[in-house]
């Protein structure tokens, strides 16, 4: 993952204790750099409105994940408002405490962010804040969470997602509301016809197919046992989708995977989407969702960005309320990097259609975050949760695993059904709830924790 980009803007009023203020600024800057942030902004303090205006103009064309205003001393709100209105980034106000010495008030930093917060509230501008010394590790963690939320927000503004075909009839859970997604996140949607993918797949030459076969043979040892013509069809589909994604500079794909890939191409799209989601043959993994589920792809892109690792869109297919276990499954499009290393992955035929290629393995154990950009209420919101993927035999063929959620499965199922949530959720390994909650707050959507 790229380093979060922070505009670090220290404010000082020269009637206060400037040497102490500069000491605080230097310590904060050093700790942020040591924590791995990329800092933009002046080396000197901002002491007046003309300087603030100049800095705002200089940074207005930069891509920022967080606007960190370090209120080293008291100042009125004019400089903060000037910076906040000019720079498109989440706002963080940081004040520092000072000893209650009984003598001179040397910084009055807290009063500075109080005045700034009031002005931003009147302007209906969101912000977060801290009142802590520069060495406070919890504040550095808070800044990291907010900056990663800002990174997600910024990346979606330039994201391009491809939708291949339309979602199948009756699968309203996969509906695409393009204007709403553009309004909320800024993402661009590129529509791709199924026939265009099929035409391109049919022209992939044998040399390319053989190269792809060698690539996937290094991960699966049983491809020779499968019917070769439909297997090559899936490998051709992989190349067709990859070419389209590269040419159109796409960051993800949502593919109508049935019935046409089976009836017209004579193969399963699952294996191709697994390879793309895993980044095989690509510089960056390309998240893919089946059934043209664009919100699923968008969610996977969020998770992949945070984890710097592939994400997976899956169905919830079983609940055991006694053991508090959930069965997750999909036909065979999970990234191969999610396979439990203790059990070999295999290439198989689709469980319902009897055609290759689908991936068959159980998901590896570990802490996971699951999420969904949901439209169940008619408004976009972010559904979130976490749990532990267990090292148990897979509950079904295909790509599947057994999850123990953070709460009870009875409550999980109740929310799933009473809220009419979508049947797809996306998951990635690791705990990213705080970062996703920060992102949701920054873009103005509500969060449902399940």
Q: In this predicted model, what pLDDT tens digit does every residue of 160-204 receive, in sequence order?
A: 999 999 999 999 999 999 999 999 999 999 999 999 999 999 999
Average confidence (pLDDT) over 101-126: 98
Query: pTM of this prediction?
Result: 0.96
Q: Three-state SS string across the chain, please?
A: CCCCEEEEEEECCCCCCHHHHHHHHHHHHHHHHHCCCEEECCCCCECCHHHHHHHHHHHCCCCCCEEEEEECCCCCCHHHHHHHHHCCCCEEEEECCCCCCCCCCCCCHHHHHHHHHHHHHHCCCCCEEEECCCCCHHHHHHHHHHHHHHHHHHHHHCCEEEEECCCCCCCHHHCCCHHHHHHHHCCEEEEECHHHHHHHHHCCCHHHHHHHHHHHHCCCCCHHHCCHHHHHHHHHHHHHHHHHHHHCCCCEEEECCCCHHHHCCCCCCHHHHHHHHHCCCCCCCCCEEECCCHHHHHHHHHHHHHHCCCCEEEEEEEEECCCCEEEEEECCCCCHHHECCCCCCEEECCCCCCCCCEEEEEECCEEEEEEEEECCCCCCEEEEEEEEEECCCCCCCCEEEEEEECCCHHHHHHHHHHCCCCCEEEEEECCCHHHHHHHHHHHCCEEEEC
- How confident is the model over 260-282, as pLDDT tens digits? 999 999 999 999 999 999 999 99
Average predicted confidence (pLDDT) for the chain: 97
In the predicted structure, residue 2 carries a pLDDT above the cut 90: no
**Mean pLDDT of the 292-300 span:** 98
> What is the distance between the alpha carbons of residues 388 and 396, in angstroms, rounded to a whole number?
18
The answer to whether the beta carbons of residues 428 and 307 sit under 8 Å apart is yes
Percentage of the chain lying above the pLDDT 70 cut: 100
Residue 249: predicted pLDDT: 98
pLDDT of amino acid 1: 64
What does the pLDDT look like over 11-28, one tens digit per residue? 999 999 999 999 999 999
Averaged pLDDT for residues 328-340: 97
Using pLDDT thresholds of 50, 70 and 90, give the confidence band for residue 29. very high
Mean pLDDT of the region 389-413: 96
Q: What are the tens digits of pLDDT across the range 45-66? A: 999 999 999 999 999 999 999 9
Structural domains of the chain in order of their starting residue, each with its CATH number: 5-156 (3.40.50.10940), 158-449 (3.40.275.10)
Query: pLDDT at residue 365 above 90?
Result: yes
Mean predicted confidence (pLDDT) in 211-236: 97
Mean pLDDT across 193-221: 97
Average pLDDT of span 327-341 = 97
């Amino acid at each position: 993952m790229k380093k979060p980009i922070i505009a670090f803007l220290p404010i000082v009023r020269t009637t206060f204790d400037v040497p102490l203020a500069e000491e605080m600024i230097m310590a904060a800057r050093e700790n942020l750099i040591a924590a791995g942030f990329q800092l933009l902004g002046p080396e000197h303090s901002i002491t007046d409105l003309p300087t603030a205006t100049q800095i705002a103009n200089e940074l207005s064309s930069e891509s920022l994940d967080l606007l960190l205003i370090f209120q080293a001393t008291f100042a009125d709100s004019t400089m903060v408002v000037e910076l906040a209105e000019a720079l498109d980034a989440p706002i963080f106000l940081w004040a520092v405490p000072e000893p209650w010495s009984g003598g001179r008030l040397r910084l009055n930093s807290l009063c500075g962010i109080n005045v700034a917060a009031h002005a931003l509230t009147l302007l209906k501008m969101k912000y977060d804040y801290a009142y802590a010394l520069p060495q406070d590790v919890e504040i550095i963690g808070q800044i990291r969470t907010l900056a990663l939320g800002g990174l997600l927000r910024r990346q979606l503004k330039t994201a391009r997602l491809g939708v291949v075909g339309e979602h199948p009839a009756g699968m309203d859970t996969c509906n695409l509301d393009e204007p709403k997604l553009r309004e909320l996140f800024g993402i661009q949607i590129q529509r791709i016809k199924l026939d265009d993918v099929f035409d391109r797949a049919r022209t992939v030459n044998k040399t390319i197919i053989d190269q792809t076969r060698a690539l996937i043979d290094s991960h699966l040892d049983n491809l020779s046992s499968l019917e070769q013509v439909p297997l090559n069809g899936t490998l051709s589909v992989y190349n067709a989708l990859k070419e389209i994604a590269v040419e159109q500079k796409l960051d993800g794909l949502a593919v109508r995977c049935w019935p046409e890939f089976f009836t017209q191409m004579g193969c399963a799209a699952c294996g191709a989407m697994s390879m793309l989601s895993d980044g095989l043959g690509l510089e960056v993994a390309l998240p893919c969702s089946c059934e043209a589920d664009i919100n699923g792809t968008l969610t996977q892109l969020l998770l992949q960005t945070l984890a710097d690792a592939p994400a997976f869109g899956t169905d919830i297919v079983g609940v055991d309320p006694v053991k508090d276990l959930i069965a997750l499954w999909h036909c065979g499009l999970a990234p191969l990097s999610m396979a439990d290393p203790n059990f070999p992955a295999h290439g198989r035929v689709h469980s319902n259609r009897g055609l290759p290629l689908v991936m068959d393995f159980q998901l590896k154990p570990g802490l996971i975050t699951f999420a969904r950009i949901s439209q169940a209420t008619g408004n976009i919101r972010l559904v979130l949760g976490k749990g532990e993927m267990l090292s148990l035999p897979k509950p079904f063929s295909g790509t599947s695993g057994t999850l123990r959620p953070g709460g009870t499965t009875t409550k999980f199922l109740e929310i799933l059904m009473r809220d009419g949530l979508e049947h797809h959720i996306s998951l990635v390994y690791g705990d990213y709830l705080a970062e996703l909650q920060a992102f949701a707050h920054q873009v103005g959507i509500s969060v449902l924790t399940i």
